Amino acid sequence: MTREIDDELWTAIGDPTRRRVLDLLLTGGPGTASSLSRELPVTRQAVAKHLAVLERTGLVNAEHAGREVRYGVNSDQFARAVAQLAAVGQAWDGRLRRIKAIAEAIEKTKKFR
């Protein structure tokens, strides 16, 4: 597993509609642009565009069944995104601990003046 952050992946996840699409696919299983659009305040065409972005980043897979295209979450890529988010969270936790330590040290020096 890489610690490198994938900007394209996070740009895709950064959009609220795409996050909602992912949420719907995670909770409800595979779906089509039409079925997903019934759950979202956007058109089927907009959902299709969002799904194309998610597919390009590997977060969803498209399965063609006749004229219908069903999308499902790519669990490996989703797990990679979760791992990246955890790594970013840990890095920020470390930064915040250092900031707190610096602030406390400054506060201590003010008390002794």
Q: Are 12 and 32 in contact (CB under 8 A)?
A: no
Instruction: State which H helix or E strand residue 61 sits in.
Output: strand 60-65
- Whole-Å CA distances, 108 to 94, 101, 105: 21, 11, 5
CA distance from start to end of the chain: 50
- pLDDT tens digit string along 52-73? 999 999 999 999 989 999 999 9
User: Residue 1: its pLDDT value, please?
Assistant: 39
| b (16+ CB within 10 A) / e for 51-66 | bebbbebbbbeeeeee
pLDDT tens, position by position, for the chain (113 residues)? 344 668 888 889 999 999 999 999 999 999 999 999 999 999 999 999 999 999 999 999 999 989 999 999 999 999 998 888 888 788 888 888 889 889 888 888 887 77
